[in-house]
Amino acid sequence: MGLLRVLLAPLSWPTAAVLRLRHALYDAGLLRSTRPAVPTIAIGNLALGGTGKTPMLELVLRTLHDRRPLATLSRGYGRSGTDIHEVAVGDTAERSGDEPLQVKRKFPDVRVFVGADRVAAIAHIEQAVPAVRAVVLDDALQHRRLDAGLNILLTTAQRPYCDDALVPAGTLRDLRCRARAAQLVVVTKCAERPSAEEQVRWRERLHLRSDQELFFAGITYEPPRSLDGQPLDRPPGPRAGALVVTGIAHPEPFVEHVRTLFGPVEHKGFPDHHAFTPGDLALLARRFDTFAPAPNLLITTEKDAARLRSLIPGGPLDGLPVATIGMRTVILNEPERFAELLRRHVGPHPAHR
């Protein structure tokens, strides 16, 4: 434990006390949780982001493709408003949030909803989509009013929750003991599949029960594509430059991947869920013209593209070659078992209580 964490630890004690009281009230039944009638899969983490929730949600949707109709639900971080809203392909990120909009554009046949009150939103989904087979929730582990049928907890290989601490001493926003609520725990951003011995050590480090399933996930990258999803006219290569623009947590792996595809690479990073301003776009346009000899591309993530797309027409980036690189989560150990558990869950489900 570093000196800074020791010094900051007392500042996290009030937060820990409030969290313990809140969870105790729910565990004792003094605060009510609701189990929806429709099968629910909640994807969450204990940290402040950057564990790969959206790529995991997309993996769940691909796995359950033959179980349609499906719906997703998230709060829609960064959007204006907290009302229950069904996301349309033509929405802006300000209306729906960047990640829900990204999901809707990649999975147009999935019904994508946003709403701050998950319980009320699921009741709305059940009315709007009576035949829905499952609702996949993004970032719902802390929403104790909702008792999801299947909880998937994500933690990164670089900073697992067992080695972390509550803010401000660390990056955890909830108690480590909340990991007990998860039926599936996934260690994300692994460079390779751990050996059998390493997997056993991971179980011990994470203090998992015997009935909790442990998986390991890595990231694969899709080829660069234009904003409308088409192959690029100018392919990547050592003679092409890339100005990388990100507004995500922990962009380093994404930037390093871009460096394997292009010659000169410069990264301009913004905070997670950054709302791009006209000044930001003007700065990027000026830098694009000067950071490297042509031909160049402006490369961004799918999540950032969801926020940038509506700002480009008529703005400083209009006419510049802008491309995205998609990221996919892949299960490295027992992917068939992971898929089986998801599909098994989308079936008979406990009645509403």
Amino acid 233: pLDDT: 77
Give me the CATH number covering residue 97: 3.40.50.300
The lowest-confidence range among 50-59, 160-169, 226-235, 313-322 is: 226-235
Amino acid 351: pLDDT: 40
- Look at residue 302 and tell me whether its pLDDT is greater than 80: yes
- Look at residue 283 and tell me whether its pLDDT is greater than 90: yes
* Domain match, 214 and 230 both: no
Strand partners, 266: 243
Percent of the chain with pLDDT over 90: 78
- Look at residue 353 and tell me whether its pLDDT is greater than 50: no
- pLDDT tens across 2-29, in order? 777 878 888 999 999 999 999 999 999 9
The answer to the question of residue 352 being in a domain is: no
Amino acid 238: pLDDT: 86
* Domain match, 193 and 102 both: yes
* Domain match, 178 and 243 both: no
The answer to the question of residue 254 being in a domain is: yes
Confidence category of residue 342, pLDDT binned at 50, 70, 90:
very high
Amino acid 82: pLDDT: 83
* Domain match, 273 and 186 both: no
d(Cα 23, Cα 83) in Å, to the nearest integer?
Answer: 26
- DSSP label at residue 69: S
* Domain match, 29 and 157 both: yes
* Domain match, 236 and 118 both: no
The single residue listed with the structure tokens 């500042």 is 11
Classify burial at 293, counting beta carbons within 10 Å of its beta carbon; exposed 0-12, middle 13-18, buried 19 or more. exposed
Domain count of the chain?
A: 2
d(Cα 243, Cα 66) in Å, to the nearest integer?
Answer: 39
The answer to the question of residue 125 being in a domain is: yes
Give me the CATH number covering residue 295: 3.40.50
* Domain match, 239 and 263 both: yes
Amino acid 205: pLDDT: 97
Going by C-alpha positions, the residue among 186, 172, 195 that lies closest to residue 218 is 186
Q: Read out DSSP for 134-189? A: EEEEES-TT-TTB--SEEEEEEESSS-GGG--BTTTSSBSS-GGGGGG-SEEEEES
Helix (H, G, I), strand (E, B) or coil at 319: coil
Contact (CB, 8 A) for 98 and 78 = yes
Amino acid 19: pLDDT: 95
Classify burial at 232, counting beta carbons within 10 Å of its beta carbon; exposed 0-12, middle 13-18, buried 19 or more. middle
* Domain match, 84 and 187 both: yes
Confidence category of residue 228, pLDDT binned at 50, 70, 90:
confident
- Phi, psi dihedrals of residue 39, rounded to the nearest 5°: -55, 130
The answer to the question of residue 87 being in a domain is: yes
Percent of the chain with pLDDT over 70: 98
* Domain match, 11 and 135 both: yes
Alpha carbon distance, N-terminus to C-terminus of the chain? 44
Containing domain of residue 289, as a range? 225-325
Q: How far is CA 80 from CA 34, 85, 110, 116, in A?
A: 27, 11, 22, 11
> How many Cβ atoms sit within 10 Å of the Cβ of residue 343?
14
Amino acid 1: pLDDT: 56
Contact (CB, 8 A) for 55 and 249 = no
Helix (H, G, I), strand (E, B) or coil at 158: coil
- Look at residue 295 and tell me whether its pLDDT is greater than 90: no
The answer to the question of residue 335 being in a domain is: yes
- pLDDT tens across 75-109, in order? 888 788 889 999 999 999 889 989 999 999 999 99
Amino acid 249: pLDDT: 86
- pLDDT tens across 254-264, in order? 999 999 999 99
120: enclosing H helix or E strand: helix 118-128
